[in-house]
Structure formats: C-alpha cells, structure tokens
Amino acid sequence: MHYGIVPPFLLDRVAAADQPHLARAARAARHTLIAPREYRPRRTQLELSVEGGTLVARTEPSPDRTIADAAGTETLPGVTVRTEDRPPVADSTVNQAFDGLGATFDFFWEAYRRDSIDGCGLPLDATVHYGHDYDNAFWNGERMVFGDGDGDVFVGFTGSLTVIAHELTHGVTEASGGLDYQGQSGALNESISDVFGVLAEQSAHNQSVDEASWLIGAGILAPGIDGVALRSLKAPGTAYDDRVLGKDPQPATMAGFVHTSEDSGGVHINSGIPNHAFYLAAVAIGGRAWERAGRIWYRAVTAGTLPKDADFATFAHATLAAAQAEYGVDAKEVAAVRAAWTSVGVLAHAESPAH
C-alpha cells in the first residue's frame, strides 16, 4: 500500500517533461515512482508502568516523537536527530516535521480524545531528507517519511500540516478497521485523509469554515508552477492548471466520476467527490468544521461498522447514522449531511436518512 501525498499520475506527468529546465525534476519523478516504499503495518500495545507497587497508566496523553535523518539515502529509519527531550535543531526540516507531528497529535486528542494514531499512544516517528530530490511524502505503516522535492516542481513537504495530517490519518483509518485501497473504498480512504488533513490545519489556526482555504498541500508546489495546492475540497478540479502537471482532474460530483484502472482505480481523482460532500456539509453546519462536521465523519470512520469495501453510498449512510446518533434524527446537522451527499450525486433526492 503506497500512501503517498503526490498521486502517481502527477509524477508520471513530471517524469515525461521534456523541457531542459525540468530535466532534474523529470529524473526525480522517475526515481520517486520506482523508489521502495514498503508498507509496514505495526501493532502496538498500551504501555503501563508500576510505580511504588501501583499500576499507572498515562491519563493526559502527549506525543512521543522521534525524527530521523536519512541524509539523502532510501534507508529507513536513518539517524535520530531529535526526540521529545531535545530542543529545536539547526535543520528547519527536522523542526517542521517535529512540530507537524505534534500539531496532528494535539488535533486528534483535543478534538476527539484520540491518543495518537491508534488511540493507544503510538509513538510518532518520522524520517526527513529521504532519497535524492524525492518528490513525495508517505506513511509506511510505522513512520512518516518526507522527501525534499526536486526544487523545480515540488519543494519540501514538511512545511505543510495538511500533508502530515493526511498521511497520519491513513494510520487512523487502518487502526479503525481499514478501507480497501481500490476504487470507491480507496477514494474514501484518500478523502478521509484529506478531510482530517484540512481539519488539523483549521484547528491549528482556529479557522471557521469561511476562513479556511480547504486546500491539501498548499505550499509544496514550487514557484513558477501554476497552482495553489494538490487538491481543493471547496472546488475539486481547480487546484492547479499547469503545462507540466496538466489540469487538476478531480470531479466534484458523480456526474464526473472517472472510470480508470490507473491509480488503484482513481483513488486520488474520485476522492474529490466525498471531499466536496464534506465541504458542503461543513459549510452548511457552520462554525468550526472539526467540532460538528468533523465529529460526524470521525464517528463514522471509527465506529468499526464500515466494511472494507465500502462505496460512497455506504459511507454516506454511515455519516447520516453518525449525525443522527450524535445530534438527533431531526437535527440540522443530519439535514446538512444528507443535502451534501445529495448535491454531489451520491444519494438520490428521494432517499431518506437512515434510522
């Protein structure tokens, strides 16, 4: 499973670039596509200690972060350069990764009382400076891995909290039962990571639904690239329109659903549909999106009732059920969620909320 923030179809386009000034970027993209990214799912156990004969469990969780430096190699984990008991270092990439992991931890704990990725205090490990001109960042099941980008198309990935939170949310989804990384269930997997990626950023900046950018990966495109981010939840299909990257292919509704065998059945493309449904629901509910709309999505993801092959309609009904359980059958939150899924064409107008 390759949970990279940059989808393979974008790397394919960069790899095919024939402009002389993009030769380095093309080489970097080709190598990024073939570089090893072994997925390593890891089970963890709740850590308990005995103090003075008494069994003690941590009651106020805090992150346990370790940042390693691969120093341009593709060997993990690399050399440890910062831990919880060490101050900031001279390398800003290390500090950005450290701070981003902490902000993501704080978001999940403060918003949903979730203690790290697995809910049981999983240590947050990361490796920076992975590979040479490596054009991606990914979660491999046990750590976050960051490339530095090629400098011409993509730049360092550690400066975007949405990237970090997106990738770590793949771990939350896995710990909650998982979604097959293929077709609609795979697009849901990607969308859920996008949703909590933007929510982590909004929470960190205390932004309302109207103040937020709703962008994933803002700041990772190099100067000169015609685009603002990798994806937009507010307006799928508008994040970039560039001669190298092409035009953002994400649809906002089922009318534009892309049938393809590439990208695991279009998981990074068709995720625009559930992404936009969340945006519409959050704006209709109003306020700070992580508080109510986000809670509904979080409850749907972590309830343990989603089948691994859930399609968009199955997930839509799961969010309706979560909204009803949280706020009541006749609540405006339920109406907002139903209207959102109807607007993107996942639910029909005649369908009623699940009871």
pLDDT tens by residue, 286-334: 999 999 999 999 999 999 999 999 999 999 999 999 999 999 999 999 9
- pLDDT, residue 20, reads 74
Per-residue pLDDT tens digits for 192-213: 999 999 999 999 999 999 999 9
Catalytic pick among 142, 167, 174, 190: 167
Letter for the amino acid at 251? Answer: P
| Residue 47 binned pLDDT confidence (cut-offs 50, 70, 90) | very low
| Residue 106 burial (C-beta neighbours within 10 Å; 0-12, 13-18, 19+) | middle
> Is 167 marked active-site?
yes
Flag whether pLDDT at 59 surpasses 50: yes
Q: Report pLDDT for 44.
A: 41
Domains of the chain: 3-41+52-343 (1.10.390.10)
Catalytic annotation on 355? no
Stronger pLDDT, 1 or 345, i.e. the higher one: 345
Of 37-51, 107-121, 126-140, 337-351, give the lowest mean pLDDT range: 37-51
Write out the chain in H/E/C secondary structure: CCEECCCHHHHHHHHCCCCHHHHHHHHHHHHHHHCCCCCCCCCCCCCCEEECCEEECCCCCCCCEEEEECCCCCCCCCEEEEECCCCCCCCHHHHHHHHHHHHHHHHHHHHHCCCCCCCCCCCEEEEECCCCCCCCEEECCCCEEECCCCCCCECCCCCCHHHHHHHHHHHHHHHCCCCCCCHHHHHHHHHHHHHHHHHHHHHHCCCCCCCCCCEECCCCECCCCCECCCEECCCCCCCEEECCCEECCCCCCHHHCCCCCCHHHHCCCCCHHHHHHHHHHHHHHCCCCCCCHHHHHHHHHHCCCCCCCCCHHHHHHHHHHHHHHHHCCCCHHHHHHHHHHHHCCCCCCCCCCCC
Catalytic choice (129, 166, 268, 317): 268
Residues 127 and 77: beta-carbon distance below 8 Å: yes
Q: Residue 53: pLDDT above 80?
A: no
